[in-house]
Amino acid sequence: MLLPILISAAYSLTNYNPFNPPTKWVGLHNYRLLFADSEFRTSLRVTTILTLIVVVVPNVLGLAIAALLDRPGWFYNALRSVFFVPVVLSSVVVSVIWTRLLDNDGLLNQALRGLGIDDPPGWLSDPHYALYSLGAIISWQMLGFCVVVYLAGLQGVPTELTEAAAIDGAGAFQRFWRVTWPLLAPALTVNTVILLISAFKVFDHVQIITRGGPGTGTTATIAYVILGEAFVSDHPGYASAEAIVMLLIIATAAAAALKVLQRREINL
């Protein structure tokens, strides 16, 4: 695990390009170029917005759906399986499906036209909608994971605690907020950290659905920019510097989220 990171860090300090030797030591030159690079700064902004969507939406909806499915019976067991199916699908398959559904002449826009909306949005072709559509697609795929984790947390809540709260006169909302929600702290930690890391390194969905567009860099994430710089523009040394910065950002954000959320678990 460490060896590729160390090799990449070494490459980031050179002008390494296997198609244009020789390789020369350039020190921190790539990093100085990096922070003056408008494309990289835009990709950082895009990735941050996408990460916020993917962390918040599946967490909120996953908790709500898990609460609805936390019941015995074959019907609810079947629904749990249905919600988990997108998680096991390939991101390429998910991307192709949603590209067809959200196309300008796709099923969603045809349905909107049928409802009388003559000029429906270009979900993937309009710069105002593309990034949020991408976030919605990734959130849809990750939703089942959150549902399963929250279901496990809900089924671990001792029934005697909720029964005691009910006897004391607590309503359904008070029982959830005062008893159930605090005991779901570990589930919240797992979901948040996994979603944060997954969202920050999204590449497949961008490559298949939007290719970084529409326009210039509207949906280009950091991972998409790095791979384009390395394998399209043939600048592996510079791309390695971008990758090291991405690694540091993800590690810092994940560690900070983990520390804050685990401190909440201890305090509870």
| Contact (Cβ atoms closer than 8 angstroms) between residue 222 and residue 173 | no
The verdict on 27 and 45 lying in the same domain is: no
The pLDDT score that the predictor gives to residue 268 is: 57
The verdict on 114 and 18 lying in the same domain is: no
Please report whether residue 139 resides in a domain: yes
The verdict on 22 and 75 lying in the same domain is: no
The verdict on 97 and 169 lying in the same domain is: yes
Q: Is the peptide bond before 158 cis (omega within 30 degrees of 0)?
A: no
> How many residues in the chain?
268
Please report whether residue 240 resides in a domain: no
Please report whether residue 241 resides in a domain: no
The verdict on 5 and 137 lying in the same domain is: no
| Contact (Cβ atoms closer than 8 angstroms) between residue 46 and residue 246 | no
Residue 2 has, within 13 A of its CA and on its CB side, a CA count of: 0
Domain count, the chain: 2
Please report whether residue 91 resides in a domain: yes
Q: In whole angstroms, what is the distance from residue 213 CA to residue 42 CA?
A: 12
Q: In whole angstroms, what is the distance from residue 37 CA to residue 31 CA?
A: 10
Q: Which residues pair with 14 in a beta bridge?
A: 25
Give the predicted TM-score (pTM) of the model: 0.92
The enclosing domain of 65 has a CATH number of 1.10.3720.10
| Token reading at 125 | 């072709």
Quote the DSSP letter at residue 21.
P
| Residue 14 dihedral angles phi and psi, to the nearest 5° | -130, 175
The verdict on 66 and 132 lying in the same domain is: yes
Please report whether residue 131 resides in a domain: yes
The verdict on 60 and 186 lying in the same domain is: yes
Please report whether residue 138 resides in a domain: yes
Please report whether residue 106 resides in a domain: yes
The pLDDT score that the predictor gives to residue 19 is: 80
Domain housing 84? 39-235+246-267
The pLDDT score that the predictor gives to residue 177 is: 86
**Sites in the chain below the pLDDT cut of 70:** 266-268
The verdict on 19 and 68 lying in the same domain is: no
Q: Express each pLDDT in 15-38 by its tens digit.
A: 988 888 888 899 899 999 988 999
| Token reading at 122 | 């270009």
